[in-house]
Amino acid sequence: MVGGSFRAVQIKGQTVLLTGASGGLGGAIARALDGGGARVLLSGRREEALERLKDELGGRPRVLVADLSAPGAGRALAEQAGEVDVLVANAGLPASGPIDDLSPEEIDRALDVNLRAPIQLTRALVPGMVARGSGHMVFVSSLSGKVASAGSTLYSATKFGLRGFAAGLREDVRDQGVGVTVVFPSFVSGEGMFAETGVKLRRGVGTRSPEQVAAAVLRGIETGKAEIDVAPLALRAGALAAAVAPGPIAALQRRLGSHEVSAEIADAQRLKR
């Protein structure tokens, strides 16, 4: 038990809706959920990628194609999914670059996918979980949801927003058997938005693997832990320090070349916004 009447959720046999399954970290999370015995609902924009992942997992998952940037897409996806025991809100857009480099349409897409869709999915799915007295919500945020840097204006806004939403939701449902976890990955190697850029990090800045992020998702579901950082010690310490001393940490980021790295990442992600 983790506060209130929350009950730990055993993955085996649970119906889990996973968004963002057609790219990035989605595959690693889907494999971990399937390996744990969950009934996985794979959702994403690219049907071909979802079908390939379904085949890889022995045809067990169900595929639900959805573009979460479309109006009403979150509510429509919840209707398609039906009764869901666990939501893993993983879909996200990079939204990187200075705010005046983003078009109004790009701003709206990032807000829709990164923040509006998880909120709408939660609104649609939580009542059923509360009625059953069991369930879990996992929101895949980012360490940029704890500390902002150059070029992360909009992305950090959506990820900070997700953290705030989850914190309030946790208090709303804590005595109703429903758990809420936020996972905060840092730079992830191999798969995901950062890995796809091909940008080299500065010396001493480490990464984490997609499998480590997936393991954190499962740990959140099974233990009810409120927040889980998936980042090297130095980055975790930096995020903690930024909460109490944002000015000095921002200055340190600048000295370590954060502006240059952010510009490289934004340029590489321009077509994905």
Ramachandran region of residue 13, left (φ > 0), alpha (ψ -120 to 50) or beta?
left
Q: Which of 139, 155, 160, 165 is catalytic?
A: 155
Cα–Cα distance, 216 to 28 (Å, whole number): 11
Spatial strand order of the sheet with 227-230 comes to 62-65, 39-44, 15-18, 86-89, 135-140, 178-185, 227-230
For residue 158, which of 109, 124, 220, 191 has the smallest C-alpha distance? 109
What is the C-alpha end-to-end distance of the chain, expressed in Å? 40
Cα–Cα distance, 184 to 75 (Å, whole number): 25
Cα–Cα distance, 6 to 87 (Å, whole number): 16
Backbone angles phi, psi at 85, to 5 degrees: -90, -35
Active site residue 257: no
Residues belonging to the chain: 273
- Catalytic residue positions? 155
